[in-house]
Amino acid sequence: MIVRLKEGKLERFKAESEVVIVGGGTAGVSAAIAAGRLGKSVILIERYPFLGGTATAAMVGPTATFHTKKGRQIVGGIPNEIVESLVQNGDSLGHVPDTIGVAGSVTPIDPDAMKLMLLQFAKSAGVKMLFHALVNEVETKHDRVVAIQAISKDGPVRIEGKIFVDASGDGDLAALANVPYTVGEGKALPQPMTLIFKVANVKLDEVIKYMLENRNEFWHGTTFDKLKTAPAIGVSGFTTLWKEAQARGELNGIPRDRALFFSGVRPGEVTVNTTRVIQKNALNPWELSEAEQEGRAQVGPLLRFFRKYIPGFKDCYLAQVATQIGVRETRLMQGEYRLSAQDVIDGRKFDDGIAQCAWPIDIHHQGEGLTLSTDVGGDGAYDIPYRCLLPDGISNLLLSGRNISVSHEAFASSRIQATSMAVGQASGTAAALSLNRSGAVREVAVSVLRDTLVKNGALL
Ligand SMILES: Cc1cc2nc3c(=O)[nH]c(=O)nc-3n(C[C@H](O)[C@H](O)[C@H](O)COP(=O)(O)OP(=O)(O)OC[C@H]3O[C@@H](n4cnc5c(N)ncnc54)[C@H](O)[C@@H]3O)c2cc1C
């Protein structure tokens, strides 16, 4: 079957390149840098006027995780280069202990500095960027994507390519190309959304003092002995203060059981990950609009709660609210292999592994309940097989970042930023290598792909 884009206005802004990447989140940028560095022409299309996606537009952090719980580094390459450059500029604290005790390390970064750094990396790899453009149509011929269309203020933009990478986070391009997917799995709904906000002027020593004196109010894995020395802290708890405020009706409409927040790169700065919007589908524009409103409506009551009851927050002020609500999960695309919960729990290795992940299965409740956390087994990390990047039915398209082929539970682990970026680097590298075979992604020799990744710093 041949599906053609409408002719006409499309000619005005048309472009072409060897590699076309949809989505400039951390995964899409890593893919673009990898393909650009391998000498390929790359166009990266992003609906916002900046890069970073969930990590910057939704202000999600700290970046996780570059290490297993036992401290073995499992992500290197482009993601690690980006972190090192941020550290040099004073815009990241580098890899620091996770005081919530969920992971081997977390990596606090400044989201605005991240936008600038990603741009710098992409430009120096020769990537051409199309901003303010939302990909909304695809032209396919048999099992190949021929061109895509993005919508701009002054009409459509047609972009032709030889190989396409879907790093939209939601699998937009793959879905347009009729790759099968589910939203949720069985009875499990996609995870809830969270609008992140940042407050400043917090006295962390008061937070730590309360934590040390009231240990049973905090996440069971909390590493209390590290709180005073860690360069940054993560906090999951204050459950008694939360319950009391809830009983007084001060937290109505916020379906949670605790506060969750992380200290940031600058002194006194805290990123709050405590809003929760449940039972909404982020692919439905009306429900997403309601979610944005609900998320913003929760900021006021939370700020009052923090200032009034949480030690150290009395004089804090609202420093920034994320541009958009953080969307954890939408489409689960179907690829040649669908990573399962058991693969994560077993810490499974694959011959075609192209990235590693050490984050637990971390499922935020679709109600007030506790976040579920199931550790990675084996040696503490599992492989992402290349086959998870190969979408059913299309021969010149790669899935990347959080929209690779995984089950709902496996997704709750693999979605994490360090792994999304490592997968991004792998997808950009595979895209470049596939050009010797006219973009046929299934003909890429996995041994060559793995060797190229390792040569460029990836840890496999
Ligand atoms: C609330 C929340 C908390 C989280 N907590 C953490 C955490 O503490 N640590 C951690 O490491 N990870 C965390 N994650 C997960 C992690 O942030 C994301 O899974 C990861 O950033 C995904 O990166 P990505 O590049 O694959 O996708 P995204 O960052 O979603 O990037 C997709 C990009 O594509 C663009 N785009 C989408 N559709 C189109 C289109 N049709 N046309 C053009 N552009 C398009 C988007 O604007 C975006 O820039 C959290 C996520 C959420 C939502």
Same-domain check for residues 63 and 201: no
What's the CA-to-centroid distance between 324 and ligand 1, angstroms? 11
Give residue 12's pLDDT band: very low, low, confident or very high (50, 70, 90).
confident
Residue 172, both tokens: 């937009």
Least confident of 292-301, 343-352, 434-443: 434-443
Whether 282 is in the pocket of ligand 1, judged by its Cβ within 6 Å, is no
- Atom number in ligand 1 closest to CA 29: 25
Residue 273 CB neighbours (<10 A): 20
Same-domain check for residues 59 and 151: yes
Shortest-distance Cα residue to atom 22 of ligand 1:
402
CA dist., res. 402 & res. 27, Å (int): 8
Residue 277 CB neighbours (<10 A): 26
Residue 460 within any structural domain of the chain: no
Q: What are residue 19's DSSP bridge partners?
A: 42, 163
423-450: average pLDDT: 96
pLDDT at 365 (0 to 100): 78
Q: Which domain holds residue 212?
A: 197-321
Same-domain check for residues 103 and 233: no
pLDDT-above-90 percentage for the chain = 92
Shortest-distance Cα residue to atom 31 of ligand 1:
25
pLDDT at 439 (0 to 100): 86
CA dist., res. 411 & res. 29, Å (int): 20
Degrees, nearest 5: CA angle 266-271-274: 165
Q: 80 to each of 396, 402, 459, how far by Cα in Å?
A: 28, 18, 10
The values of phi and psi at residue 358, to 5°, are -125, 10
Angle between helix 111-124 and helix 77-88 axes, rounded to 10 deg: 120
Angle between helix 26-37 and helix 77-88 axes, rounded to 10 deg: 100
Q: What are residue 277's DSSP bridge partners?
A: 193
Which residue in this structure is represented by tokens 């599992």? 382
Mean pLDDT of the chain: 96
Best of 50, 54, 277 to mutate for ligand 1, by most ligand atoms within 8 A of CB? Answer: 54
pLDDT at 454 over 80: yes
Same-domain check for residues 420 and 450: yes
Degrees, nearest 5: CA angle 197-71-236: 30
Same-domain check for residues 180 and 203: no
What's the CA-to-centroid distance between 13 and ligand 1, angstroms? 27
What's the CA-to-centroid distance between 412 and ligand 1, angstroms? 13
Which residue in this structure is represented by tokens 């109505």? 252
Same-domain check for residues 389 and 303: no
pLDDT at 367 (0 to 100): 73
Shortest-distance Cα residue to atom 41 of ligand 1:
135
pLDDT in tens, 148-190: 999 999 899 999 999 999 999 999 999 999 999 999 888 888 9
Whether 134 is in the pocket of ligand 1, judged by its Cβ within 6 Å, is yes
Shortest-distance Cα residue to atom 3 of ligand 1:
60
Using the CB atoms, write b or e for 401-419: b if 16+ within 10 Å: bbbbbbbbbbbbbbbbbbb
**Whole-model pTM?**
0.97
248-262: average pLDDT: 96
Give residue 8's pLDDT band: very low, low, confident or very high (50, 70, 90).
low
pLDDT in tens, 51-109: 999 999 999 999 999 999 999 999 999 999 999 999 999 999 999 999 999 999 999 99
Using the CB atoms, write b or e for 182-198: b if 16+ within 10 Å: ebbeeeebbbbbbbbbb
pLDDT in tens, 388-402: 999 999 999 999 999
261, 289, 321 - which closes a domain: 321
pLDDT at 121 (0 to 100): 98
Residue 345 within any structural domain of the chain: yes
Yes or no: say if 362 and 394 are a contact pair by the CB < 8 Å rule.
no
Shortest-distance Cα residue to atom 35 of ligand 1:
23
Number of domains in the chain: 2
pLDDT at 6 (0 to 100): 63
Residue 3 within any structural domain of the chain: no
Shortest-distance Cα residue to atom 34 of ligand 1:
23
Shortest-distance Cα residue to atom 12 of ligand 1:
416
CA dist., res. 295 & res. 314, Å (int): 22
pLDDT at 9 over 90: no
Same-domain check for residues 308 and 358: no
Same-domain check for residues 351 and 314: no
259, 290, 321 - which closes a domain: 321
pLDDT at 4 (0 to 100): 65
pLDDT at 364 (0 to 100): 82
Same-domain check for residues 40 and 164: yes
Same-domain check for residues 87 and 32: yes
Best of 59, 60, 299 to mutate for ligand 1, by most ligand atoms within 8 A of CB? Answer: 60
Whether 194 is in the pocket of ligand 1, judged by its Cβ within 6 Å, is yes
Shortest-distance Cα residue to atom 4 of ligand 1:
60
Same-domain check for residues 18 and 141: yes
- Atom number in ligand 1 closest to CA 136: 41
Residue 309 within any structural domain of the chain: yes
pLDDT at 370 over 80: no
Whether 46 is in the pocket of ligand 1, judged by its Cβ within 6 Å, is yes
Yes or no: say if 437 and 448 are a contact pair by the CB < 8 Å rule.
no
pLDDT-above-70 percentage for the chain = 97
Residue 217, both tokens: 């109010």
pLDDT at 43 over 90: yes
Q: Is the dihedral of CA 63, 67, 71, 76 positive or negative?
A: negative
295, 321, 347 - which closes a domain: 321
Whether 167 is in the pocket of ligand 1, judged by its Cβ within 6 Å, is yes
Q: What are residue 281's DSSP bridge partners?
A: none
Which residue in this structure is represented by tokens 């916002």? 48
- Atom number in ligand 1 closest to CA 48: 47
Same-domain check for residues 227 and 270: yes
